[in-house]
Amino acid sequence: MAAAIPICLNLMKPLFDFLLKIFILSVILWGAVFWGAAEYGIDLRSVFVAWLLIAANTLVGYLLFEYAFDKPQAVYTKIVLGGVTLRLLVLMVLVAVVIVQRLVAVNDFVLSLFAFYCIYVIIEILGYQKKNKQKKKVA
C-alpha cells in the first residue's frame, strides 16, 4: 500500500503541473484582459466565452494525451490525432453557433479566440514534452 502512493503521485504530478500552469497563465491573461477592457473597452463577455472554449479544448486535449500515453503506438495515434480532429470540429461548430446566434461581440470574440488558442496550444505541447521527458527519466 505504501509503495502505491509514490507511484500514484508520480502519475498525477504531470497533470497537477499542467493544471497549475494553466491556472497561472489564466490569471496572467485575465489581468491583461481586465487592463485592456479598462483602456480599450473590450467586451469581457466575448473574451470569457472565447477563453472558456479554448481552456476546455486544451484541458480535454491534455487529458486525452494522458489517457493514451502508455497505450500501444497505433492506439495512441488514434486517440491523440483523432482527439485533435474531433476537438477542432466541435470547436468550429461552437464558434459558428456563438457567432450566428450573436451571443458575443464578434471582433472581440474572434481576436480573443485566436490569441487564447495560440497561447494555450503552446502550454499543451509543453505539457506533452514534460510528460515524455519524465518517462525517459524513469526508463
Domain membership flag for residue 118:
yes
pLDDT class for 137, splitting at 50, 70, 90?
Answer: low
Mean pLDDT, rounded, of the chain: 87
Nearest-10 Cα torsion for 72, 92, 37, 61: -10
Is 85 a domain residue? yes
Domain membership flag for residue 75: yes
User: Domain range for residue 66?
Assistant: 16-138
Q: What is the pLDDT of residues 69-116, one digit of tens each?
A: 889 999 999 999 999 999 999 999 999 999 999 999 999 999 999 999
Tell me what pLDDT residue 10 has. Answer: 57
* pLDDT score of 33 more than 70: yes
Q: Predicted confidence band at 132 (pLDDT cuts at 50, 70, 90)?
A: confident
In a domain, 7, yes or no: no
Give CA–CA dist 127/42, Å, rounded.
30
Indicate the number of domains in the chain.
1
